[in-house]
Chains A and B, each alone.
Chain A
Amino acid sequence: MAKTARKTNASTRPPRAALQGHFRTLRLPSPLQPRIDALAKTEDWYTWAGYKAPLSLWDEELEYFTIRSQAAAFDISPMVKYRIEGADAEAFCNRVTLRDVSKLKPGRVHYTAWCDDAGHVLDDGTLFRLAPTHFRLCCQERHLPWLLDSTIGFDVMVEEETEAVAGLALQGPTSLAVLRDAGFAGVEKLKIFDLAEFPHESGMVAISRTGFTGDLGYELFVPAKLALSLWDRLFEVGRLHGIRAIGYTALNRARIEAGLIVANADFVTAEHAIRGDRLRLPDEIGLGFMVDAEKPHFNGRRTILAARANRSMKHVLVGLEIEGNIPAEHAIVYHRQKREVGLVSAAIWSPMAKRNIAIASLSRPYGDTVTDDLWVEIYAMRELKYERLMKRARIVPRPFIKLERRTANPPANV
């Protein structure tokens, strides 16, 4: 039974102290840090999974519009990445995650989630099938112990490759043009969720037509040591296509418009939740569509199917459209302006939809069978005074915007 020795074999480890240098740098630099630092006019940083990452670089409004009208480069190197390889890699992924991995062909990516025994969501993320027996799992939180324990009984190895692999998202209408002009021949053939490898200097870059913006876009994964030269390759040719680096605030707006959720922002992951009632089954955070009752056994199957059969799901995640133009971030949701029924986890005024939109978690039956007469209570700080606004909210489908260019084939060759 092959298992990774890298993280578990004590005998080959260097002395403990040598392994524990991480705390000396509170915010680790990304492999792309030199380029990002050079562009960081606002010096507006946050910590993403232990890495130094920009909230904004020059102007969060214009950074957002870079996504929607140019080509936005967003460093996703801090994203947690696992390499899963071996004869049983497909069976392993199928047991760990909710969707049917046997339907995921090599050269394809799907968005999925995984649960603990109790069916509570541990994380969501993307699963890349690089080859029949080689996968990459990308996500928000760390899961190595869980994944290693999941290898028991499977001929598969799991290895953390967060540091070894750099990632760069290139999103926006001109993103294909940038890649094409950078010389990635054939990249225009990629359909949404396709994945292919292209030569870059001494190695290969995996380019997938994926992203977190609801726009035309690509994600590029490359060995960390080739990250800077990849960046330079794109930025050299991208200048005339309006390529700009962006921070998370802009990306966050785009993802809310696309109706995408973020672990530990829109729901609390099972291993982070301290309070028992914060745990969520997939159906309680809008991920029920992933659960495939017909595929072979997967973690949490028993409890998820039982909760469905007993109709004991307690929560539901919904998209809201709220009257007015004041973002309802973290507002409480009411039924008939009286009964508290939920909370808004993300909200913006959507420049694309020209609507006031929000993602909210409600307690069933509200949001499930009771969907009328919902309100949000917004506290808007106006010169040291809260203006309390009770605004009508309507449940609307996600995504809030649908851009044809996201899935158009071939993509617009701007």
Chain B
Amino acid sequence: MTSFDVIVIGGGHNGLVAATTLGRAGRKVLVLEAAGEIGGAARTEEFFPGFRVSSIAHVLNRLHPEVVKILELEKHGLAFERQATPSVALSTTDDPLVLRGAYGESLDGATDSEAAAWRELRALLFRYAGILKPFLARRPPDLADMSLSETSALAMAGLSLKRLGKEDMRDFLRMLLMNVADVLDEHLEDDRLKGLLAFDAVLGSHLGPRSPTSLLGLYYRLAGEIGGVPGAQLLPKGGMGAIIAAMGASASAAGIVVRSNAEVAKILVEKGRAVGVALQNDEQIRAKTIVSAINPSSTFSLVGSRELDTGFVRKVKNIRMMGDAAKLHLALDRPPEFLGVRTEDHRGRLVIAPSTDHVERAFNPSKYGEFSPEPVMEITLPSLADPSLAPDGACVLSAVVQYAPYALGEGWEAGKPKFLNAIMAQLEAHAPGIAKSIRHTELLTPLDIEQRYRMPGGHWHHGELQADQMLMSRPVSGAAGYSTPVDGLYLCGAGSHPGGGVSGVPGLNAARHIIAMKA
């Protein structure tokens, strides 16, 4: 039997990035994927005969350029469309507002004064997100034990802060932990624009726009870039699975062996050191380095609390990771028509979040275990740009819907049909007639996402991405920076710094860390 230097648990995008980076550095790497195919929550899947959709992640906005470069993704079939996808703030009472270019380089449908205010705020947000960007790209600072290069990188970030000038620096620090609603109120008037920005700030987290620190979510988004354009977004041709296909090809080229239907049952630890894994079928595979791309709490469950310290187990148990977002897939007879939206703009990202207050009100019930009666959502119609995703003339709708608390008080079995009704009422209000064109509906609650994609809490970030669970506290102190208390065991998934979204950064950083450790 072939022996491997490294076993990567989980063939999601971060697992593939870590595996390929290590493989290209000369390691013999085996990727173990529990499901029948690689890709995790970034697959393209058929949800109804002839209809395919990006499973969870459906908008690409932060795939890191170094990941594209190192994995040679473009050589392996990834094609970026040069035209950025617009974001459309839908409204039932007004015309939609369209943010064109990279996150609203221009604004359609706003007054001149609002457009000017937005230009100013947009520049400010990008400037400040730019300060955070290096922190969100590198390994998190290790307060106890930092190498010279890490220290100097941190110093550079400090320097860029200094370069801002006194006023800007003061404002950056003032705003850092603010809630997004207050920031928007300081700058903008238009409810549609504020609603969209508020929605984007809290997308994928258990926060409302008025929750302290909610602005960080927007910074996180704007620190991403696509094709060298900060803030840009696109719907990948072929769905998110196309990214995975390119990564898979890159992995093969690097000699990575991928085994699917290989669910790890246990991480084997001997004298404080990870020495291999045992699969569900009791097969044992040994390797000197074990890299886990799966959720941190799942990872440490595989280790078992007997091999870990009490304080550490307590910290892992306290990671907040109850998802609050659902995913909706509709197979439609024909493309829907959203009120006032130009035909070509239907290819963009359509957002139902009519105001900050609306988003906040949608959030409120979720704190008490109830879903939003008037949910907010981000809708894409990927088959418009890529007809291969749906049969002739038909259309796929993919939407991320908030808020859908993982621990729904009444339970999701009872709650799911009611929540679907609430979602459909919103869709029908914005795209009259859509309900009549539905051939098939698939609604994935956080519970479904948990079960289908093995993500505890159904949380696509593998843990809330909030200030207390970022940087050296992600996923917990003691396991930040990709090393864990178990020698030879590393984390490389979204649960590690910087966090989720299809970026590949945790995977890349973890691999680089492992390579540097060895040297």
Contact = CB atoms under 8 A, between A and B. Distances in A.
A299 interface: yes
A96 B307 contact: no
Interface stretch (B311-319, B321-329, B462-470, B501-509): B311-319
A91 B306 contact: yes
Contact of B312 (A117, A146, A154, A305): A117
Contact of B313 (A91, A152, A296): A152
B310 A297 contact: no
Interface residues of A, number: 18
Q: For chain B, what secondary structure do more than half of its interface residues adopt (helix, strand, loop), or is it mixed?
A: helix
Contacts of B317: 149, 152
A149 B313 CA distance: 8
A303 B310 CA distance: 14
B305 A154 contact: yes
A117 B269 CA distance: 18
Given A117-B478, A302-B485, A297 B307 contact: yes
Contact of A96 (B304, B310, B478): B310
A301 B307 CA distance: 10
B283 interface: no
A301 B309 CA distance: 8
Nearest to A153: B305
A149 B317 CA distance: 10
Contact of A301 (B272, B304, B314): B272
A116 interface: yes
A300 interface: yes
A95 interface: yes
Contact of A149 (B272, B304, B314, B478): B314
A153 B303 CA distance: 11
Nearest to A95: B306
Nearest to A96: B310
A150 interface: yes
A117 B311 contact: yes
A117 B478 CA distance: 10
A135 to B, nearest CB: 17
Contacts of A146: 310
B308 interface: yes
Interface in A83-105: 91, 95-96
Given A149-B314, A152-B317, A302-B485, A117 B309 contact: yes
Interface string A285-315: 0000000000011011110010000000000
26 contacts: A95-B305, A95-B306, A116-B309, A116-B310, A117-B310, A117-B312, A117-B485, A149-B310, A149-B313, A149-B314, A149-B317, A150-B310, A152-B313, A152-B314, A153-B305, A153-B313, A296-B306, A297-B269, A297-B306, A299-B309, A299-B311, A301-B272, A301-B309, A302-B272, A302-B309, A302-B485
Given A150-B313, A302-B272, 6 more contacts: A117-B312, A117-B478, A150-B310, A154-B306, A299-B309, A300-B309
Interface of B: 269, 272, 304-314, 317, 478, 485
Interface of A: 91, 95-96, 116-117, 146, 149-150, 152-154, 296-297, 299-302, 305
